[in-house]
Structure 1
Amino acid sequence: MPKRRLTSTPRRLNVFTKGMVQLYGVLAVLTVLIPELIATFTLSLNSSSQEDSLPSLSTMTLLELRKIGKELKLLGYSSENKKSLSKRIAKRLGRKTSHLKP
């Protein structure tokens, strides 16, 4: 059995193999990035739709406002009247209070 000669020059990949390696690299990156982008987009849609789905604070009852105040961990929410609690909730949620009745 003949012995293999060790050469000092590195083996070269043929053009087809080099292209396949590059293609696999691109596919690996896309496999990670595309689901990440979809998840980010879905989460941003979900957070914006939750704000829009919340009814107007002026049409809510005091009990409903107090439940929201409790969820938002507002101090003293249980002793406030409807108007002041609505303003505090709107401020915490970053809404404009111009739509609230005086």
Structure 2
Amino acid sequence: MSAQRPDHSEQRRLHPLPRGLVELYGLIAVLVVLIPEWIADGTINFGQINGVDSLPMRARAWRTLPELRLASMNLSEMRNLAREMRLLHYAMDTRTRLNSRLLRRLRRRNAL
């Protein structure tokens, strides 16, 4: 009267879901996740002709705080700013180093 134990070496059989149910789950995933994401992306980029610019920085803080302005720039924009501000040897600086040099220069310029 001993109960038979299943052999651990034999592979456990999983019952697959019906193909129609898997396709239904896929459709629900598209409806719930992807379509709202596409709508949000289209709404954010609506009205941008060239598609290069991201969200406009309309807040006063983005215009006045140099830290936020530099954080929103890519490295080439930072190098262009360094050239305009006549920083020496800016081309060999890393982003972190260039950021700190530009911040010092901007603060010095605003202090005058």
TM interval, shorter chain, is 0.3 to 0.5
TM-score (norm. length: structure 1): 0.39
Q: Report which structure shows greater RCO (CA 8 Å, sep ≥6).
A: 1
TM-score (norm. length: structure 2): 0.36
